[in-house]
């Protein structure tokens, strides 16, 4: 059972960890880590089959070696490649080379005529005015006249320099990937499908995963037109010397801009298969993982709870990967942050509670349990100590001072208290020295138990040894002290011992708690102590105590069977050989 304070502490940890996770998510404090987690998910997913609808014509090192030309190539050469692609029957061409400046008129005319003969040609540019207009071939009006258009080719990297998104539009001009897909399909692309950061590029794999043909091979007619027919073709630089290579989340090798655009085009064609989870879902996941850790701590012990919380984090990573493979990018860092903060917080609460419990146990039991017993209880922890209530096989001891009531009526209060404290101290030491638990003082009477709150296999031996010390050592010393100090001639006492099952635990209210034992074993011990009056014996030991001895006592003497109130059958009673002197009533 959890206390109200503990429940409130768990709830506070859950609320705080969730608040930390949500606030960090809203401020994107760990945005870099979150993006790195996406890269890891790409890596775990591995290389996929590239889109059959997109190919790349790369201006690569092979092209420079075979053509022996310097960059920039003559525009007639680009026109010749456009004609090759047009005759091959491609669906659309994204030409990722900028043609914003004029060159030789014959060269410009050769390229423009090739574009005009082509179908679905989109020319890349990064030069756009405030109204989204370009100056490719002199302006957008001329591009429309030759059935071509421009597309913004810039792709803004994330904060760490890696390219993961592409824009729907930039500076009022649609992105190259969006414009190319619209030309290929004849259908508009909806801007609502894009996040504020743009669309996720669903990379098929590392560089050269998309089918790629050398520019020179296409120019020379060395590529089978059937390999290009019906495809969207991106023409662009791939040679590192042209400095159009970029870091991506799919491997350490830089990817050419043309292949990056090809992956973006494939993503648009596939209706952006990779999308960010809505914020409300991410927040719900943060709340869920904060609650999971708290629930683990509520139900389990500290280390088990922490281990299960970590396991829950591992399962969440698996679930996030499955979601990624299915096309949803859920946040990973912030739910795990909430989980870790919650797990640490719960661990702290549990250890603080354990420390508090240890102090409470020490405070509760150090008054009536030997120090070594308290230490053993604290060592065994919850398994050895159950203050809420437990059944134990134990031996109960009742003792009472004979004639003290009449003595106290004729003596000054201060003297009575001094004598009583001396007596209780002597008897308490005897009980505790043998490992007993002092349950309560009842005036001049004492209730003690051996075998609780922690188990003692030899509880009966300990109880009889304590009774023997009370009668043979402590009582004579106490009486001698009384005579030496002028407090009287001393007293006699009666002791009752009984063994069996007891119920023990803390009882009381929130304002006052005490440890007690209840049950027939306790009641019988009390009655045995009362039966010593006028019996000629100072101690009665139940047969159950004799039978429970681990090491048999040789100074036990059999008294006989006695009727005990509340019991159907007579009880066999024993005493100590030195406990047979007649008590004083």
Give me the number of domains the chain comprises: 3
Q: According to the model, what pLDDT value does residue 585 have? A: 41
Is the separation of the CB atoms in 223 and 213 below 8 Å?
Answer: yes
Same domain, yes or no: 419 and 544 = yes
Same domain, yes or no: 477 and 500 = yes
At 106, list the tokens. 């014959």
Give the containing element (helix H, strand E) for 128: none
Same domain, yes or no: 18 and 96 = no
Q: According to the model, what pLDDT value does residue 347 have? A: 81
Cα maximum dimension of the chain: 138
CA 93-98-103 angle, to 5 degrees, is 115
Domain of residue 392 covers 383-579
Regions in the chain scoring below 70 on pLDDT = 1-3, 357, 360-389, 508-513, 579-585
Q: Is residue 508 part of a domain?
A: yes
Q: According to the model, what pLDDT value does residue 448 have? A: 94
The residue among 355, 370, 396 that closes a domain is 355
At 407, list the tokens. 């003595």
Q: Is residue 364 part of a domain?
A: no
The residue among 355, 370, 401 that closes a domain is 355
Q: According to the model, what pLDDT value does residue 53 have? A: 97
Distance CA 293, CA 13 (A): 10
At 70, list the tokens. 């310097």
Q: Is residue 410 part of a domain?
A: yes
Is the separation of the CB atoms in 573 and 562 below 8 Å?
Answer: yes
How do strand 92-96 and strand 493-508 relate by DSSP bridges? unpaired
Q: Is the peptide bond before 453 cis (omega within 30 degrees of 0)?
A: yes
Same domain, yes or no: 246 and 294 = no
Q: Is residue 102 part of a domain?
A: yes
Q: Is residue 46 part of a domain?
A: no
Q: Is the dihedral of CA 306, 312, 316, 317 positive or negative?
A: positive
Q: Is residue 236 part of a domain?
A: yes
Within 8 A by CB and 6+ apart from 147, the residues are 116, 119, 121
Q: Is residue 38 part of a domain?
A: no
Same domain, yes or no: 410 and 433 = yes
Distance CA 198, CA 195 (A): 5
Distance CA 382, CA 161 (A): 54
Distance CA 29, CA 338 (A): 13
Q: According to the model, what pLDDT value does residue 494 have? A: 95
Distance CA 171, CA 193 (A): 18
**CA proximity to 286, closest of 253, 255, 320, 252:** 320
Same domain, yes or no: 176 and 301 = no
Q: According to the model, what pLDDT value does residue 385 have? A: 47
Q: pLDDT tens digits for 44-72? A: 999 999 999 999 999 999 999 999 999 99
Q: Is residue 43 part of a domain?
A: no
Q: According to the model, what pLDDT value does residue 35 have? A: 95
What does residue 533 show for φ and ψ, rounded to 5 degrees? -60, 125
Distance CA 14, CA 20 (A): 10
Same domain, yes or no: 245 and 152 = yes
Q: CATH number of the domain that 417 lies in?
A: 3.30.70.1230
DSSP string, 444-493: TEEEEEES-SS--TTHHHHHHHHHHHIIIIIHHHHHHHHHHHTS-S---E
The residue among 269, 299, 331 that closes a domain is 269
At 196, list the tokens. 């504020």
Q: According to the model, what pLDDT value does residue 304 have? A: 83
At 71, list the tokens. 């960059």
Same domain, yes or no: 173 and 259 = yes
Same domain, yes or no: 27 and 164 = no
- The total of other beta-carbon atoms located within 10 Å of residue 523's CB is 17
Same domain, yes or no: 322 and 185 = no
What does residue 266 show for φ and ψ, rounded to 5 degrees? -60, -35
Same domain, yes or no: 400 and 340 = no
Is the separation of the CB atoms in 2 and 298 below 8 Å?
Answer: yes
Q: pLDDT tens digits for 107-123? A: 999 999 999 999 999 99
Same domain, yes or no: 146 and 260 = yes
Long-range contacts of 182-185 (CB under 8 A, 24+ apart): 183/92, 183/120, 183/121, 183/122, 183/149, 184/91, 184/92, 184/120, 184/232, 184/269, 185/269
């Amino acid at each position: 059972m959890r206390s109200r304070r503990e429940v409130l502490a768990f709830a506070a940890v859950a609320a705080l960890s969730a608040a930390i996770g949500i606030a960090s998510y809203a401020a994107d404090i760990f945005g870099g880590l979150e993006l790195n987690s996406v890269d890891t998910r790409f890596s775990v997913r591995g290389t996929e089959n590239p889109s059959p609808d997109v190919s790349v014509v790369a201006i690569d090192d092979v092209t420079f070696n075979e053509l022996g030309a310097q960059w920039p190539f003559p525009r007639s050469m680009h026109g010749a490649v456009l004609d090759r692609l047009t005759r091959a029957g491609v669906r659309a061409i994204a030409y990722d080379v900028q043609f914003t400046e004029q060159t030789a008129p014959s060269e410009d005319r050769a390229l423009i005529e090739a574009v005009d003969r082509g179908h679905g040609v989109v020319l890349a540019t990064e030069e756009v005015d405030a109204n989204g207009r370009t100056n490719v071939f002199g302006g957008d009006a001329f591009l429309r006249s030759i059935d071509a258009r421009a597309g913004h080719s810039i792709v803004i990297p994330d904060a760490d320099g890696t390219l993961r998104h592409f824009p729907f539009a930039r500076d009022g001009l649609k992105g190259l990937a969006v414009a190319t897909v619209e030309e290929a399909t004849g259908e508009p692309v909806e801007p609502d499908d894009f996040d504020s950061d743009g669309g996720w590029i669903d990379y098929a794999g590392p560089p050269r995963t998309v089918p790629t043909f050398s520019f020179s091979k296409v120019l020379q007619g060395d590529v089978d037109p059937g390999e290009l027919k019906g495809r969207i073709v991106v023409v662009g630089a791939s040679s590192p010397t042209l400095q159009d290579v970029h870091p991506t989340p799919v491997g350490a090798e830089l990817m050419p801009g043309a292949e990056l655009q090809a992956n973006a085009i494939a993503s648009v064609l596939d209706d952006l298969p990779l999308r960010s989870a809505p914020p409300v879902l991410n927040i719900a996941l943060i709340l869920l993982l904060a609650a999971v850790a708290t629930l683990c701590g509520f139900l389990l012990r500290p280390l088990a709870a922490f281990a299960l919380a970590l396991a829950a984090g591992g399962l969440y990573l698996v679930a996030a990967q499955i979601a990624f493979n299915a096309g949803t990018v859920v946040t990973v860092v912030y739910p795990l942050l909430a989980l870790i903060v919650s797990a640490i917080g719960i661990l702290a609460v549990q250890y603080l509670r354990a420390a508090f419990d240890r102090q409470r146990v020490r405070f509760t039991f150090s008054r009536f349990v030997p120090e070594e017993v308290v230490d053993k209880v604290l060592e065994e922890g919850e398994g050895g100590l159950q203050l809420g209530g437990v059944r134990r096989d134990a031996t109960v001891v009742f003792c009472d001072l004979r004639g003290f009531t009449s003595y106290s009526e004729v003596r000054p209060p201060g003297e009575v208290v001094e004598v009583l404290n001396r007596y209780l101290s002597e008897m308490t030491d005897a009980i505790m020295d043998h490992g007993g638990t002092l349950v309560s003082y009842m005036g001049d009477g004492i209730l003690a138990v051996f075998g609780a709150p922690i188990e003692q296999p030899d509880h009966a031996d300990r109880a009889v040894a304590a009774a023997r010390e009370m009668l043979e050592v402590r009582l004579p010393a106490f009486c001698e002290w009384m005579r030496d100090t002028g407090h009287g001639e001393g007293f006699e006492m009666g002791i009752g011992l009984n063994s069996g099952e007891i119920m023990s635990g803390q009882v009381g209210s929130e304002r006052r708690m005490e440890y007690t034992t209840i049950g027939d074993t306790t009641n019988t011990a009390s009655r045995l102590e009362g039966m010593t009056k006028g019996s000629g014996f100072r101690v009665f030991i139940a047969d159950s105590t004799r039978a429970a001895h681990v090491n048999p006592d040789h100074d036990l003497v059999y008294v006989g069977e006695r009727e005990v109130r509340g019991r159907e059958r007579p009880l066999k009673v024993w005493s100590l050989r030195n406990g047979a002197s007649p008590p004083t009533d």
